[in-house]
Structure 1
Amino acid sequence: MALSRRRLLQAGTAGAAALLAGAGLASSAPYRAPRWLGDPFTLGVASGDPLPDGVVLWTRLAPDPFAPDALGGTARAPVTVEYEVAEDEHFRRIAARGSALATRELAHSVHPEVRGLAPDRWYYYRFRAGAAISPVGRTRTVPAAGARVARLRFAFASCQHWSSGYYTAYRHLCDEDLDFVVHLGDYIYEKEWARGRAGIAIPETLRAEAADLTGYRLRYAQYKAEPELRAAHAAFPWICTFDDHEIDNNWAGFDPGAGIDIHLLPALFRRRRTAAFRAMYEHLPLRIDQLPAGPHIRMHRRYAFGDLADLTMLDTRQYRTSLVCGDGGNLVVDCPDRFAADRTILGAPQREWLIDGLTRSPARWQILGNQVAMAQSDHDPGPAVAVGTDAWDGYVADRDAVLAAAAARGRGNLVVLTGDRHENYVVDLRGNYRDPHAPVVATEFTGTSITTGRDGTDLPPRGRTLLAANPDMKFFNGQRGYVRVEVDERLWRSDYRVVPYVGRPGAPIGTRASYVVEHGRPGAQADRDPGVAVPDAKVPDPAPMAEAGR
């Protein structure tokens, strides 16, 4: 797939050539790899954005991923990276092969887009640079458009602050029977705070808050150095989006979050957005359609899984209007501005694209990959309504429009997947929260963090408050983990998989609760056989909201 003429003109002739090469399009001539001083594939391999006939592959050449210049210890010259895709793990039946050019401009990352594969089947892939061969990854194409699909299985995760704990949940995720993984944001955090890992030492180069390209590249290297994360990427194709911490806590459009003084200058924040998006592209399995253009990136997109489900990934950060009634992290009771008709969390073009997709899609289930809580989250069990304004509670008009579209469709098949909160919720969604008798039109499953918030507890005081104040909240849990989903024509099932601790490695995993949604009947019901629960780690409650960086 080629860059548009406009994007080429924006980049300029020399810059466009570098971007095309670094984005992973097949190179016409080989560039020999230097003699590596170690393994160039230290950050692993990944695949993502699956289609019926192909996927995008990813790797980055980085023999020294923590080099001070954040370029991974590579030479300045471009390097040809070859790849193979096979039907078997021994690479006896090759389905596709090619090469991509790794350049300094994109930190020697490559994103080859492989086409011509068969739909709905597993493949294996690997890379080669000179004499070095990468680990083997496994990926899967999606069913053909309109094909009859009996079942879909996937997991969704978010919020993996490195120093808050170990990535044990990803080790367990690798053992699941899944078709793909959805990551809902906060893949990295721009800064460190209270540490949950036992006996960790953070290098000097990683102690400062990331605010430029070098800083963000080092953050991604820090996170991708974790073997559990690399293994989870190698096991399944991922579909990724971002939330706030990939750039700055609680940022909104071109407004920075509540950071240090230099972040208050709009020009500096545009530069920061540019650097953060570029580093994100360099480290995730994203297509050339997601190649950033300065401080802009197109991340809202849609995937079809035969006739069974459509997955629509949203971007609730880049196009939103400014926060109101504070910085979004504090609760407000009296904030009439959050109801203003011109406030948007999606931007008008994305909102119209979303509603049009919900209206026209013939799929049996509609799934939204969403970053911040859509349901009203009242923190006052009394008559007042106390909410934060960083989530959809601060953008009520957009929430009303999206849920009204779901209600008008009348099929009772909308499910919203959400991250950000570092807690597990099951909440029914109503079309109008100002009317307590408004009908339920959808269900929101909010997944906890992989590590953020440290060990966590099953039901802290905050959880009791939320359950008391929100009658539509069916379940709360404050431990760490991910959500496993199985969906067929009749039933949606979400299993809340949690670990008792993340402060030290080796935690077991269990299913804390399972909830189901029947097709055509909005609203979640508890499953009577949730599996084996995991006890608390006997540690203090999770960090308060300000520390957790919400």
Structure 2
Amino acid sequence: AGRALAAEPVSGAAAVFSGYPFTLGVASGDPSADGFVLWTRLAPKPMEGGGMKEESVWVDWQVAEDEGMSRIVASGREAAHADWAHSVHVEVANLKPDRWYWYQFKAGGEASPKARTRTLASPDQAADQTSTLRMAFASCQHWEAGHYTAYEHMLRENPDVVIHLGDYIYEGRGREGQLRRHVGDEPMDLVSYRNRHAQYKTDPALQAMHQAAPWIVTWDDHEVENNYAGPIPEEKAHSTPEAFLRRRAAAYQAYYEHMPLRAACVPKGPDMKLYRTVRHGRLVDFHVLDTRQYRTDQPYGGERAFPGPEVMNPDGTLLGKTQREWLYSQMKTSPATWNVLAQQVMMARVDRAAGPDVACAMDQWPAYEVERRAVLRAFQELKVSNPVVITGDIHTHWANDLLTDFDNLESRTVASELVCSSISSKGDGEAKPKFQDSMLRENPFVKYFSDRRGYVSCTIGPKIWRTDFRTVDYVSRPGAPLVTPVSYILESGRAGLQNA
């Protein structure tokens, strides 16, 4: 799979574990028309570095057409190596398109849970002949901030695919008085990042959702450090560039070790190519972006600011030149009805100041205004079919129309942006924050805002895209019921959100 392997698999006798090895569950991801990635990690002591010996271990896997695993269509054996935390990434191919499968791992006489995944439609399948896709997306699941009740509701919706837009883990040290506590201090090395990922992976609701559908994942900042920008740490005075890149390398490796990613994403030191396109027939292309690894430093210290000349720096970038040119090429040549930018930070230029002044968040797209405008122009100039931006990061729900010129609120809408709230980050939230009314008056392109936790559920067809914003009123205790406060539709060939 393109990884450097330092140890040979155990030969002969089966491995002996100190406890059940599949404590972190199983997962699948990056589905294609003929396959997907299967993932697991052997970790009998998940928060103690995994609890495995240094030698490598054989792991057997099977894929079946039925839940009882009686009609096996693919099987094999992979080595789980200590250098990669005894994780396994199996790229299964040559399966039938657009159907569900079941899978299971076995090692040392132990069996993993059985789980479900699926292939997508063939790339040449016409949009009107491609199956409707049910997609849910989420982000920001701070362990200490609340229960993952939203995933319990998402599971009941039975989505075809889940997209996670970042902040899968948080890097803060364990704190007293929280709902549940991080194990250990702030991670700085590979072992501590592995332990943090493992802790999150033990959540039953998260495991269940991974076992029910394939995921498409990308990261934001907290997988490494809050508000980092490329090679630049948040706390510049407390870290050298060399030290931060060593930390980033550790964080990136731990991320790969715990996600269902293909060999194309294997990290090389502090670098890891995560941007890619996932396609479902000619119905929808998901262009998965990375707005952290290649970005330049945030202007004005990354805080909310009145945009000055720094935001118009032509060299300022979230994507970097190579990724940006790749995105333009993917959009220009895409045959899909819907083109989705699956990314991290808000693209709409939301004015946070009342009155004539404009104040924007400097960790988001408006801090990189030249590139933001270029992407919006590209939607028009490249004649991109039905662009939709999906976003995480901000711990609140938003439904935004994206304008060609945010200084002219009457300008043309070229795309729409759907922003998911957090799964748990920021706790319960409020029914209506004090600033909400004034913010909506200042920004008429914002159609909806909510401070509750939740996720977004989408049903994508050839003519209509339906979006349901899902919320829960509390995460400070389990059992919050699901609420659907608003729903919108997008019509193919007509830009802008409409009430469902």
Matched, 1:287 2:262: yes
TM-score, normalised via structure 1 length: 0.87
- Offset at 1:283? 0.5
- The residue aligned with 2:488 is 515
1:319-378: CA deviations, max 9, x gaps?
Answer: 11111111x1x2111421101212111011111111111111111111110100011021
Query: Is 2:46 the partner of 1:61?
Result: no
- Find the aligned partners of 2:309 and 2:173 in 1 and give their Cα distance: 35
1:133 maps onto 2:111 in alignment: yes
What residue in structure 2 maps to residue 531 of structure 1?
Answer: none
CA distance in 2, matches of 1:410, 1:316: 23
Residue 169 of structure 1 corresponds to which residue in structure 2? 150
Alpha-carbon distance in structure 2 between the residues aligned to 1:409 and 1:457: 41
Partner of 2:185: 208
Provide, for residues 71-110 of structure 1, a one-character-per-residue CA deviation record: whole Å limited to 9, x for no partner. Answer: x111111100000000001011001000110011011000
Spell out the pairing of 1:173-322 with structure 2 (5 A cutoff). Answer: 173-192=154-173, 198=179, 200=180, 202=181, 206-258=183-235, 261-262=237-238, 264-322=239-297
Q: In structure 1, the residue corresponding to 2:153 is in which secondary structure?
A: helix
Matches within 5 A, 1:365-376: 365-376=338-349
Shift of 1:218: 1.0
Q: How many residues align?
A: 497
Residue type of the alignment partner of 1:184: L
The residue type paired with residue 465 of structure 2 is W
Change (3 A) 1:32 1:351: farther
The structure 1 residue matched to 2:374, chosen from 384, 401, 416, is 401
Partner amino acid for 1:390?
Answer: D
Aligned residues of 2:332 and 2:384 also touching (Cα < 8 A)? no
1:164-219 CA distances to partner (integer Å, 9 max, x unpaired)? 00111111111113111000000000015778854x3x37xx24111111211111
Matching residue of 1:79:
57
Deviations 1:362-405 (A, max 9, x none): 11111110100011021012111101111101111111111111
CA distance change for structure 1 residues 32 and 458 in 2, over 3 Å: closer, same or farther?
farther
Which of 405, 412, 429 pairs up with 1:439?
A: 412
Following the alignment from structure 1 to structure 2, what is the Cα–Cα distance between the partners of residues 195 and 398? Answer: 42
Rounded to whole Å, the distance in 1 between the matches of 2:72 and 2:307 is 62
Instruction: Map 1:9-28 to 2 at 5 A.
Output: 16-18=4-6
Residue number among 11, 18, 25 corresponding to 1:37 in the alignment: 18
Q: What is residue 158 of structure 1 aligned with on the other side?
A: 139
2:321 corresponding residue in structure 1: 348
State the one-letter code of the partner of 2:170.
Answer: Y
Alignment partner of 1:66: what SS? coil
Stretches of structure 2 lacking an aligned partner (at least 5 in a row): none
1:363 corresponds to which of 328, 336, 340: 336
Cα distance in 1 between the residues matched to 2:71 and 2:184: 47
State the Cα distance separating 1:438 from its structure 2 match: 2.4
Within a 5 Å distance, the mapping from 1:351-500 to structure 2 comes to 351-410=324-383, 413-500=386-473
Q: 2:72 — aligned with what? A: 94
Deviation at 1:303, TM superposition (A): 1.1
Task: Give the letter aligned to residue 166 of structure 1.
Answer: H
| C-alpha contact (below 8 Å) 1:243/1:317 kept by paired residues | yes
Compared with structure 1, are the counterparts of its residues 195 and 129 closer, same or farther at alpha carbon in structure 2 (3 Å cutoff)?
Answer: same
Q: Report the Cα offset of residue 466 of structure 1.
A: 2.5
- In structure 2, how many angstroms separate the alpha carbons of the residues matched to 1:177 and 1:130? 32
Deviation at residue 253 of structure 1 after TM alignment: 0.7
Q: Which runs of 5+ in 1 are unaligned?
A: 9-15, 22-26, 528-550
Structure-2 separation of matches of 1:321 and 1:230: 35
CA distance change for structure 1 residues 248 and 32 in 2, over 3 Å: closer, same or farther?
farther
Render the CA deviation track for 1:115-140: whole Å, top value 9, x for unaligned: 11111000000000011000011000
Q: How far apart are the structure 2 equivalents of 1:440 and 1:155? A: 24
Question: 1:195–1:287: structure 2 CA closer, same or farther, 3 Å change rule?
Answer: farther
393-402 or 188-197, which deviates more: 188-197
Check 1:353–1:423 CA distance in 2 against 1; reply closer, same or farther (3 A cut).
Answer: same
- Change in Cα spacing, 1:455 to 1:137, as seen in structure 2 (3 Å) is same
C-alpha contact (below 8 Å) 1:31/1:80 kept by paired residues: no
Change (3 A) 1:322 1:411: closer
CA distance, structure 1, for counterparts of residue 421 and residue 328 of structure 2: 27
Deviates more, 1:55-64 or 1:452-461: 452-461
When the two structures are superposed, what TM-score results if normalisation uses the length of structure 2? Answer: 0.96
> What is the root-mean-square deviation in Å for CA atoms of aligned residues?
1.8
The structure-2 alpha-carbon separation of the partners of 1:482 and 1:506, relative to structure 1 and needing over 3 Å to count, comes to same
Aligned equivalents of 1:309 and 1:284: distance in 2?
A: 23
Cα distance 1:183–1:101, how it changes in 2: closer, same or farther (>3 A)?
A: same
CA contact (8 A) 2:174 2:185 kept: no
Distance 1:285 1:32 in 2: 28
SS at match of 2:157: coil
Matching of residue 104 in structure 1 with residue 85 in structure 2: no
Q: Write the letter of the residue equivalent to 2:486.
A: A
Structure 1 residue 411: Cα displacement: 5.8
Change (3 A) 1:381 1:265: same
Distance in 2 (CA, whole Å) between partners of 1:137 and 1:143 is: 20
Instruction: Find the counterpart in structure 2 of residue 542 from structure 1.
Output: none
Distance 2:479 2:149 in 1: 6
- Separation in structure 2 between the aligned mates of residue 249 and residue 32 of structure 1, nearest angstrom: 45
The CA distance in 1 between the partners of 2:94 and 2:337, in whole Å, is 27
Whole-angstrom CA distance in 2 between matches of 1:74 and 1:279: 16
Contact 1:248 / 1:256 at 8 angstroms: preserved in 2? Answer: yes
Distance in 2 (CA, whole Å) between partners of 1:159 and 1:87 is 34
Q: 1-side partners of 2:86 and 2:12: how far apart?
A: 12
SS in structure 2 at match of 1:217: helix
The residue aligned with 2:305 is 332
Alpha-carbon separation, structure 1, partners of 2:469 and 2:175: 26
Which amino acid letter does the alignment assign opposite residue 260 of structure 2?
Answer: P
1:193–1:476 Cα change, 3 Å: farther
